[in-house]
Structure 1
């Protein structure tokens, strides 16, 4: 959520009359993230978030916005997109797709404890179940096909050890994706980017998941692995905190039990989740786009996590596997 496209208050008020929100009173850019231009806006009807999409197009966006609307209508705590007078959730602003969504209460919990992880696990399972009957199908656009296309473009920037690591892991993940075990995993809409800064809390009360613009249809277990790899680790070392891991998994399992196939796939999926973000951070770091307030993430964080997930003796999920 950097700012690639500037929007003034005058720009906003020329565009806003189509929405039932009254006049805009203030706008300020959101500095975190690296994909879209995001702003907090204050209107006569309250506070909202404006997003201008820098990579996604008008054909891709209905999946994300309608998924958020679908989840919100089912009681999942997510931002609700606001339709204009024509019923459209996505409208051009400065020639780019743009949307307004409700602003969640609270703030991100950057130092989560076990109780926060339990809340996230519970809501993630509820979200997966609520998305089962969502009618639009769109793949996770940052999954295997993107990895295979992107790896050759970044190898030149890596030292020999990391080139070898990246080539070995893309081979491992390609082979894993072809297995019967992987093919049998339960799939549906996933958030795919549920990091600490994409969840809001008011104290210990979870108030919502947001930033669904990496969502897609993928294995639910991948979503769990992405979440565990951020919420349940020591940020300095990348080591898993087993109290937080087990608390999150138990909370998820209480709502949507893990399957035996998921138990068997847990270790390779933790590797997949680490690899996805190492690769994307390498790509963003060495091939950045111009943006105001843009600071690419350090790729070494997920390189470290990937190496740990490869070499650690990680358990499957036997204590959580369905009978």
Structure 2
């Protein structure tokens, strides 16, 4: 999230006149797509403008969110569109800071239900993600060679496609209202394995701080509800790949080696 395209409260009310917005707050994290928090007197919304030419992915994202919402998953459905602006339901709660056991259990239940729903449909390929890895490695090799040596093994990055996965469940893509979890930002979801999706989420929730306990707790909860069980050895392998993948992404997209080091520790 973040803001690239500026919009005023007056302009917003002209775009969506039936709502009567009284407050508009720009978000501060993220640099790809423009995201605001918009409020009426009694409700909150998310206002979004995609700063990329991805109309097919936006349409698929809206359909996916509707489908997941209908199964009881707490995700932000799209309420309206006008031109380049999209208005989403705002989930109640806050991003988790200090991760507790109940966060891990809620995360595991959410992913298990998501994967169970996703497994009902086929998924074509993850070629887009693999191409992103190739481009990022080429850039890093020419500009951050010492980091490239850490990421070089990712040139073989590929995996069997279980189904469509979120692939980016870090803490700032989750909202907790008490012990209830909501997950946002499905726009870059792609085909992949459930084990990789789990690996990303565990890295994103800093489980390495309490490594064995959180992983064991996650797997115990996840395997009770998931379409297929995962073992710790597989998850640990995927966590290493996920950490390196997102460290590479931070070096390539954001030129941020400090945040890359956070993931490589």
Is TM-score (shorter-chain normalized) higher than 0.5? yes
- Deviation track 1:37-62 (CA, whole Å, cap 9, x = no partner) reads 11011136721101111125222211
Q: Which among 199, 212, 215 is matched to residue 174 of structure 2? A: 199
Is the Cα–Cα contact under 8 Å of residues 129 and 190 in structure 2 kept in the other structure?
no
Structure with higher Rg: it is 1
RMSD over aligned Cα, in angstroms?
2.5
For residue 68 of structure 1, what is the aligned residue in structure 2? 65
Q: Which moved more, 1:250-259 or 1:30-39?
A: 250-259
Are the structure 2 counterparts of residues 75 and 146 from structure 1 closer, same or farther at C-alpha, using a change threshold of 3 Å? Answer: same
Q: State the distance in 2 between where 1:120 and 1:166 align.
A: 28
For residue 15 of structure 1, what is the aligned residue in structure 2? 15
Are the structure 2 counterparts of residues 141 and 112 from structure 1 closer, same or farther at C-alpha, using a change threshold of 3 Å? Answer: farther
Whether 1:100 and 2:100 are equivalent positions in the alignment is: no
- Deviation track 1:172-192 (CA, whole Å, cap 9, x = no partner) reads x34xx3xxxx43x6x112111
Whether 1:57 and 2:30 are equivalent positions in the alignment is: no
Are the structure 2 counterparts of residues 246 and 265 from structure 1 closer, same or farther at C-alpha, using a change threshold of 3 Å? Answer: closer
For residue 292 of structure 1, what is the aligned residue in structure 2? none
For residue 163 of structure 1, what is the aligned residue in structure 2? 148
**Structure 1: 5+ residue runs without aligned partners?**
84-89, 289-295, 305-323
Are the structure 2 counterparts of residues 23 and 50 from structure 1 closer, same or farther at C-alpha, using a change threshold of 3 Å? Answer: same
Q: State the distance in 2 between where 1:193 and 1:244 align.
A: 19
For residue 96 of structure 2, what is the aligned residue in structure 1? 109
The alpha carbon displacement at 1:265 in A equals 3.9
Are the structure 2 counterparts of residues 297 and 208 from structure 1 closer, same or farther at C-alpha, using a change threshold of 3 Å? Answer: farther
Are the structure 2 counterparts of residues 28 and 229 from structure 1 closer, same or farther at C-alpha, using a change threshold of 3 Å? Answer: same
For residue 139 of structure 2, what is the aligned residue in structure 1? 153
Is the Cα–Cα contact under 8 Å of residues 77 and 208 in structure 1 kept in the other structure?
yes
**Structure 2: 5+ residue runs without aligned partners?**
none
Count of aligned pairs:
265
Q: Which among 230, 246, 249 is matched to residue 277 of structure 1? A: 246
User: For residues 126-137 of structure 1, what are the structure 2 equivalents within 5 Å?
Assistant: 126-133=113-120, 137=123
For residue 221 of structure 2, what is the aligned residue in structure 1? 251
3-state DSSP of counterpart to 1:60: helix
Are the structure 2 counterparts of residues 118 and 158 from structure 1 closer, same or farther at C-alpha, using a change threshold of 3 Å? Answer: same
Are the structure 2 counterparts of residues 8 and 140 from structure 1 closer, same or farther at C-alpha, using a change threshold of 3 Å? Answer: farther
For residue 316 of structure 1, what is the aligned residue in structure 2? none
Q: State the distance in 2 between where 1:34 and 1:140 align.
A: 23
Q: State the distance in 2 between where 1:148 and 1:265 align.
A: 24
